[in-house]
Amino acid sequence: MWYDGRYLEWWADPAILPALPGTFATYEAKDIIRALYATVSLCHWLAEDVAYRNNLIYSPKTTLTILHWLTAAHKPKPIAPLYKDL
């Protein structure tokens, strides 16, 4: 990343900045799972946005596959909200 990931507020899309803290976790299992889902959600949003801006078709198949695997692997269901359109 530019500047080793520093100064995000200078160069990152302002819509992404509020989502970034949620992608970090403490050492507790529930929080790690929450952060993992937040990361998947952010990556999904970024993929959709990049596709839209480049006039490409985006399929959420990969995201749905990841979410299916995570849900099956981590019972009970995760506490983090999933991407609203999935």
Query: Confidence band (pLDDT; 50, 70, 90) for 36?
Result: very high
Task: Bin 55: left if φ > 0, else alpha if -120 < ψ < 50, else beta.
Answer: left
Tokens 């269901």, located at residue: 77
Tokens 């992404």, located at residue: 16
**What is the percent of the chain where pLDDT is above 70?**
81
Q: What is the mean predicted confidence (pLDDT) over 5-22?
A: 85
Residue boundaries of the structural domains of the chain: 17-73
Mean pLDDT, all residues of the chain: 83
- Residues contacting 42, CB < 8 A, separation 6+: 16, 19, 20, 22, 23
Task: Bin 5: left if φ > 0, else alpha if -120 < ψ < 50, else beta.
Answer: left
